């Protein structure tokens, strides 16, 4: 036993797979301590906030500040302010106003601004330009002016008693707030999803739920498959015929279809993660049964089993001591594969809208489902679905690697 | 020939049995719901409907279609009888279209997409697996983990990734559907061109998904065959290595036909979900609409058709395999 | 000098393991066979006799590698040839091989007729398929195999039939030398007899001119071959005619081999059955002196000092032992008494 384990850990494929899987598990265990709280809490009011660190604007106004003179601060400010589209529009205006723009490079902020400030006049009426567009240019100009001209920004409040506008504070362009001094800063490495929930926190929680679903499904399928395979293989006769009859049928009928039919038949409020896992497990025992049976048949007539039978050992004892140890490695591999396919099955079901009910727990499939329903893939919110795909792929990759590694250890012909 | 006949007979028998089992399951599973299945479906169906008469109409219609007042066994025969007349009931989400019509218009798309894609994935996978086994060394070391990784990406994940790269970012392929939505299906060049453009992404995402599993199976199989005694013997008879490699790959590939038959169910499942991502007008999308709209007759119809398609494909593969691999014939004589 | 069909001088080949260690499984082997003669090679499993069979073909692929020595078939030295030349001009038509595991020697999914075509086309790409078929049918009939075998897949043939088919295919190009590696050990007695009869037929009808028969059963060779060699740990330890080797083995190992087998003859009942104790040495680092020293009951300290050369005695016989022939014969007769 000890030797087998040592051998398994000498297989590079197994070790790499094991490390990836353990890294995922570790993240799952540690992350909730770093960032505690309910993963399903809707913290954002909008949908799909981009990944990044969010600093409370309100809190930063009153916070203590230091003064810095940074040479290209203005350029950077304008850079953020003016989108590529705005710059193209500026050039378009200049062109319409008969300014020679042949030398102008839109990427060169300084010359564009210089030319704009020199020529733009809201009073100039360009023939054929509708009012909305004219107003757009006026707004654009104002923001350029406020960014580059006024050095301070006034923050005002209304006195509740008198209704007068009173100046609260002035913010200079050179004022900087230390992020540590701002009371409310939220870090969202993966932004928020369509409901405004922290995607990373949800992903970590979903990962745990999905892996548990995989483990339950795998355990149910392996236990059932093992039991049926042992019975069919060891007892033979009509028991074998009976079990194989059903096994043959369910080998060909796609389990995917069964899952859909069964899950559709279960009312949504009864469809928790556990139920879904159980259903997945109950529909994927066929493979294990088939292979365990064929292995048991080849073991059944080995000398040590015959000897044990002749010595009058009971059936459970023969199975436990003379058969199980010989198929243990195989059953382990089947279990690993079933965990992986269980995770995948849950994801596919959820994507069809037949996964666990949606309000209690996050699963990888449900995250994917919501992202698709809210067209995250069409509006560029990659953080809502891509990490999910990657995590599913990584989990199943690590499990497959471990399986391949085990296969090479136990099937010497496949070794390099 | 006797061996083949026995083999064929056995396979046909199992095909029949499985077909009946599939019908039974399709019929029974929804009826296993606790309580009155009709009122259960109606309550799902009628969510949001306030008018009592509308609910009543739905209820009556279902009660008639299911024939719930009659005993189970009679219901089953009515169901089978209707099926053989090509009647799968009426869709509720697309009332008054017949389910058979809706499925009829979707089957062609699914077959046209999945059949070539799965065959292509199978072929490419086998070639890759064979190369990995034959070349070993660097090719094997780099390629196999990569293939393993790609085969670990779920079908929908691959579909979304390809969609975002090629349709959204690079804008080289259309985003959704089976053809441009400003078009009416006809046999013009324009339409065919549009169909082909829409075909690319769903096709390749299914191909890429199917490659992995097949390549890994083929690799193990080929390594096993390359070490077989007949390889050594053929070498010592002076037969060229290229010819021997031909033997090996033929022998390794033949069991892969059975491998395909066995993994077909899983592959089709993944491919159906990929269809949904591309809103491809096939069975996957149809089924998804059925689930979203709680259109029970449509779900039941699509799952049955998918099962039958997989059954037929498996049966055909089994028969083909019996003819091309002499080892099967020998096994029948045992 | 008589007509030598095969002559091997100082052939050495090695296996290279995964850890780049060299294992010299055939170490400086020399042998020769004359026209119409057969040579038996005997030894325990792992002594290098199967590797010798592979090495004699002059065609090497990993993990087996050629190191040194010459293989001369009918006056033509093949050890310097390029692999592809060996494949085309030597394998199958100069020297042919019958593998140990004939059960799996044929491609299970190829009809015998197609396989025979492949063999012949590999040496003569312009051969006519119809002529090949006719020739194969005639040859199979002559060797007592039904022509219907040609249209079968190997999986449809019984074990004995498969073995005889393999023999027929190996000799289809009338090779000068046939190497049979334990062709009969996995078969039942009837099939064994048929195989041996078939090999004799091949010699008598002139389809092969010399044969090497490899087995672990020394007494079987007495019935099959003219000469016998005994191999131990990659080296030849003794050689002589079949009669000499069976009735008068000189090397302690040959004698051990003979005595470890029950010969069901009159008077052998109650015969002392002596197994050779111990196991062959690890060829990764073979012992310095006599390789058999650790298992030899007549070992003396000088045995372990330096490598023992082959020594000729009784004009034609050779052996590899530190003791004099006379001494050994005396010891043996003393033992038997």
Q: What is the pLDDT of residues A321-339, one digit of tens each?
A: 888 888 888 899 999 999 9
Least confident range from A297-306, B44-53, B248-257, C37-46: namely B44-53
Q: How many CB atoms lie within 10 A of CB C262?
A: 11
CB-based burial of residue C61 (10 Å sphere; 0-12 exposed, 13-18 middle, 19+ buried)? exposed
Say whether residue C119 is in contact with chain B using an 8 A CB cutoff: yes
Mean pLDDT of C9-24: 84
pLDDT recorded at residue A148: 61
* Mean residue pLDDT across chain A: 85
Say whether residue C88 is in contact with chain B using an 8 A CB cutoff: yes
pLDDT band of residue A210 (cuts 50, 70, 90) is: very high
Distance CA B309, CA B311 (A): 5
In degrees, to the nearest 5, what angle opens at C-alpha B176 toward C-alphas B172 and B181? 100
Least confident range from A397-406, B83-92, C91-100, C173-182: namely B83-92
pLDDT recorded at residue C78: 85
Least CB–CB distance from B310: residue in A252, A264, A266: A252
pLDDT recorded at residue C238: 92
Q: Tokens 């077959």: give the residue.
A: B111
**Chain B residue with minimum CA distance to C101:** B229
Complex ipTM: 0.86
pLDDT recorded at residue A97: 78
**Which of B134, B227, B232, B236 has the highest number of chain C CBs within 10 A, making it the mutation to test binding with C?**
B236
pLDDT recorded at residue A295: 87
pLDDT band of residue A147 (cuts 50, 70, 90) is: low
Buried b (16+ CB within 10 A) or exposed e, A278-300: ebbbbbbbbbbbbbbbebbeebb
pLDDT recorded at residue A17: 93
Say whether residue C169 is in contact with chain B using an 8 A CB cutoff: yes
Q: Of A380, A383, A346, A382, which is closest to residue A366 (Cα–Cα)?
A: A346
pTM of the model: 0.81
pLDDT recorded at residue B334: 46
Beta carbons of A254 and B269 less than 8 Å apart: yes
Position A20 pLDDT exceeds 80 = yes
- Can you identify the CATH homologous superfamily of domain A2-44+194-414? MetI-like (1.10.3720.10)
Of A268 and A118, more confident: A118
Beta carbons of B314 and A252 less than 8 Å apart: yes
For chain B, the residues whose C-beta falls within 8 A of a C-beta of chain C are 228-230, 232-240, 243, 247, 250-251, 254, 325-327, 329-330, 333
Chains touching C (at least 3 CB pairs under 8 A) are B
Position A246 pLDDT exceeds 50 = yes
Sketch the domain layout of chain B as residue ranges. 106-333
Q: Of A319, A152, A298, A157, which is closest to residue A230 (Cα–Cα)?
A: A319
Sketch the domain layout of chain C as residue ranges. 4-265+272-336
Q: Report the gap between the CA of A17 and the closest CA in chain B (Å).
A: 11
Q: What is the pLDDT of residues A386-402, one digit of tens each?
A: 999 999 999 999 999 99
Q: What is the pLDDT of residues C260-291, one digit of tens each?
A: 765 555 555 455 556 677 778 887 888 888 88
pLDDT recorded at residue A346: 93
Position A67 pLDDT exceeds 80 = yes
Distance CA A152, CA A170 (A): 6
Q: What is the pLDDT of residues C213-250, one digit of tens each?
A: 998 877 778 888 899 999 998 899 999 998 888 888 88
- Can you identify the CATH homologous superfamily of domain B106-333? MetI-like (1.10.3720.10)
For the CA atoms of A138, A142, A143, A148, the dihedral, rounded to the nearest 10 degrees, stands at: 140
pLDDT recorded at residue B50: 62
Q: Tokens 């070639």: give the residue.
A: B127
**Chain A residue with minimum CA distance to B30:** A265
**Which of C88, C96, C111, C118 has the highest number of chain B CBs within 10 A, making it the mutation to test binding with B?**
C118
For the CA atoms of C112, C114, C119, C121, the dihedral, rounded to the nearest 10 degrees, stands at: 160
Position C257 pLDDT exceeds 50 = yes
Q: What is the pLDDT of residues A256-271, one digit of tens each?
A: 888 888 888 887 777 8
Q: Of B231, B283, B275, B264, which is closest to residue B108 (Cα–Cα)?
A: B283
Position C1 pLDDT exceeds 50 = no
Report whether A227 contacts A288 (CB < 8 A).
Answer: no
Position A101 pLDDT exceeds 90 = no
CB-based burial of residue C184 (10 Å sphere; 0-12 exposed, 13-18 middle, 19+ buried)? buried
Least CB–CB distance from B153: residue in A253, A354, A393: A393
Beta carbon pairs, A and B, within 8 Å: 144
Beta carbons of B247 and C153 less than 8 Å apart: no
Q: How many CA atoms lie within 13 A of B269 on its CB side?
A: 24
C4-265+272-336: what fold? Rossmann fold (3.40.50)
Sketch the domain layout of chain A as residue ranges. 2-44+194-414, 57-183
Q: Of A298, A309, A291, which is closest to residue A226 (Cα–Cα)?
A: A291
Mean pLDDT of A342-371: 88
Say whether residue C207 is in contact with chain B using an 8 A CB cutoff: no
Position A308 pLDDT exceeds 90 = no
Report whether A254 contacts B265 (CB < 8 A).
Answer: yes
pLDDT recorded at residue A416: 47
Averaged in consecutive runs of 10 residues, what is the pLDDT profile of chain B (334 residues)? Answer: 76 90 84 61 63 71 66 79 82 78 90 92 90 78 83 89 88 78 74 84 90 86 86 89 88 86 86 89 90 81 91 89 77 56
């Amino acid at each position: 036993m000890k030797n087998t384990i040592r051998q398994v850990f000498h297989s590079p494929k197994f070790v790499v797979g094991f490390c990836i899987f353990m890294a995922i598990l570790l993240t799952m265990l540690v992350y909730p301590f770093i960032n505690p709280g309910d993963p399903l809490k809707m913290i954002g009011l909008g949908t799909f906030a981009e990944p990044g660190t969010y600093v409370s604007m309100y809190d930063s106004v009153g916070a203590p500040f230091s003064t810095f003179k940074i040479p290209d601060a203005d350029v950077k400010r304008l850079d953020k302010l003016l989108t590529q589209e705005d710059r193209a529009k500026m050039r378009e205006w200049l062109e319409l106003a008969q300014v020679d723009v042949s030398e102008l490079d839109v990427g060169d902020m300084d010359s564009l601004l210089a030319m704009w400030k020199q020529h733009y006049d809201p009073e100039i009426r360009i023939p054929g330009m509708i009012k909305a567009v004219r107003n757009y240019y006026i707004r654009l100009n104002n923001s350029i002016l406020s960014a580059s001209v006024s050095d301070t920004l006034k923050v005002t409040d209304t006195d509740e008693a008198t209704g007068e506008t009173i100046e609260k504070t002035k913010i200079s362009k050179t004022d900087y707030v230390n992020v540590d001094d701002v009371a409310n800063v939220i870090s969202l490495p993966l932004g928020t999803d369509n409901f405004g929930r922290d995607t990373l926190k949800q992903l970590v929680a979903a990962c745990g739920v999905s892996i548990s679903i995989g483990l339950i499904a795998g355990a149910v399928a392996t236990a059932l498959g093992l039991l049926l395979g042992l019975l069919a293989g060891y007892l033979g006769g009509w028991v074998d015929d009976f079990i194989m009859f059903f096994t043959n049928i369910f080998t060909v009928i796609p389990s995917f279809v069964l899952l859909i039919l069964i899950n559709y038949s279960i009312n949504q409020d009864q469809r928790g993660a556990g139920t879904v896992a159980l259903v997945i497990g109950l529909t994927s025992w066929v493979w294990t049964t088939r292979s365990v049976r064929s292995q048991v048949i080849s073991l059944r007539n080995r000398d040590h089993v015959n000897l044990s039978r002749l010595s009058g050992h009971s059936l459970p004892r023969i199975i436990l001591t003379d058969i199980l140890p010989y198929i243990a490695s195989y059953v382990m591999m089947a279990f690993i594969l079933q965990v992986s396919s269980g995770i995948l099955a849950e994801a596919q079901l959820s994507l069809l809208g037949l996964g666990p009910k949606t309000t209690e727990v996050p699963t990888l499939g449900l995250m994917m489902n919501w992202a698709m329903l809210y067209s995250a893939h069409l509006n560029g919110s990659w953080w809502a679905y891509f990490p999910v795909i990657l995590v599913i792929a990584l989990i199943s990759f690590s499990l497959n690697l471990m399986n391949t590694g085990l296969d090479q250890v136990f099937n010497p012909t496949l070794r390099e | 020939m006797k061996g083949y006949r026995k083999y064929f007979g056995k396979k046909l028998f199992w095909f029949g049995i499985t077909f009946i089992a599939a019908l039974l399951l399709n019929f029974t599973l929804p009826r296993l719901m606790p309580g009155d299945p009709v009122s259960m479906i109606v309550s799902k169906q009628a969510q949001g409907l306030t008018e009592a008469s509308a609910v009543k109409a739905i209820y009556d219609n279902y009660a008639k279609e299911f024939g719930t007042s009659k005993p189970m066994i009679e219901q089953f025969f009515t169901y089978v009888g209707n099926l053989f007349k090509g009647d799968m009931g009426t869709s509720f989400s697309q009332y008054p279209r017949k389910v058979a019509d809706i499925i009829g218009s979707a089957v062609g798309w699914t077959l046209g997409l999945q059949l070539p894609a799965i065959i292509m994935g199978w072929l490419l996978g086998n070639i890759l697996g064979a190369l990995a086994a034959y070349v070993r060394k660097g090719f094997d070391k780099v390629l196999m983990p990569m293939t393993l990784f790609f085969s670990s990406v779920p079908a929908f994940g691959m579909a979304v990734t390809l969609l975002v790269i090629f349709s959204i970012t690079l804008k080289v392929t259309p985003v959704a559907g089976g053809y441009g939505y400003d078009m009416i299906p006809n046999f013009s060049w324009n339409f065919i061109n549009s169909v082909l453009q829409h075909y690319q992404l769903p096709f390749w995402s299914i191909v890429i998904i199917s490659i992995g599993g097949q390549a890994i199976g083929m690799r193990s199989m080929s390594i096993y065959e390359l070490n077989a005694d007949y390889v050594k013997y053929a070498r010592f008879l002076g037969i060229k290595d290229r010819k021997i490699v031909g033997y090996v790959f033929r022998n390794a590939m033949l069991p892969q036909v059975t491998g395909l038959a066995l993994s077909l169910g899983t592959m089709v499942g993944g491919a159906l979900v990929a269809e949904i991502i591309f809103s491809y007008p096939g069975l996957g999308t149809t089924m998804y609409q059925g689930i979203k709209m709680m259109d029970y007759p449509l779900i039941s119809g699509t799952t049955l058709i998918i099962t039958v398609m997989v059954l037929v494909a498996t049966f055909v593969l089994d028969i083909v395999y019996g003819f091309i691999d002499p080892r099967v014939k020998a096994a029948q004589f045992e | 000098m008589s007509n030598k069909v095969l002559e091997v001088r100082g052939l050495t080949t090695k296996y290279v393991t995964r850890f780049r260690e060299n294992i010299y499984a055939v170490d400086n082997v020399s042998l020769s066979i004359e026209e119409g003669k057969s040579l038996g090679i005997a030894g325990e499993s792992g002594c290098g006799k199967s590797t010798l069979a592979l090495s004699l073909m002059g065609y090497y692929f990993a993990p087996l590698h050629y190191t040194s020595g010459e293989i001369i078939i009918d006056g033509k030295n093949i050890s310097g040839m390029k692999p592809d030349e060996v494949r085309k001009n030597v394998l199958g038509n100069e020297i042919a091989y019958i593998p140990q595991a004939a059960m799996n020697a044929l491609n299970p999914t190829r009809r015998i007729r197609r396989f025979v075509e492949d063999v012949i086309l590999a040496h003569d790409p312009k051969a006519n398929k119809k002529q090949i078929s006719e020739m194969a049918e005639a040859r199979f009939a002559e060797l007592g195999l039904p022509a219907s075998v040609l249209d079968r897949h190997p999986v449809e043939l019984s074990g004995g039939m498969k073995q005889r088919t393999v023999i027929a295919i190996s000799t289809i190009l009338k090779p000068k030398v046939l190497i049979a590696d334990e062709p009969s050990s996995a078969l039942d007695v009837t099939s064994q007899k048929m195989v041996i009869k078939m090999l004799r037929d091949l010699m008598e009808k002139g389809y092969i001119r010399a044969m090497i028969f490899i087995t672990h059963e020394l007494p079987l060779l007495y019935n099959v071959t003219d000469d016998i060699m005994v191999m131990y740990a990659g080296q030849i330890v003794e050689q002589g005619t079949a009669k000499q080797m069976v009735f008068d083995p000189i090397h302690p190992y040959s004698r051990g081999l003979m005595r470890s087998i029950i010969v069901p003859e009159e008077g052998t009942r109650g015969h002392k059955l002596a197994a050779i104790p111990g196991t062959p040495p690890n060829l990764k680092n073979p012992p310095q002196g006599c390789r058999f020293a650790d298992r030899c009951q007549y070992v003396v300290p000088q045995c372990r000092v330096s490598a023992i050369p082959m020594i000729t005695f009784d004009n034609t016989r050779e052996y590899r032992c530190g003791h004099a022939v006379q001494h050994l014969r005396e010891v043996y007769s003393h033992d038997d008494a």
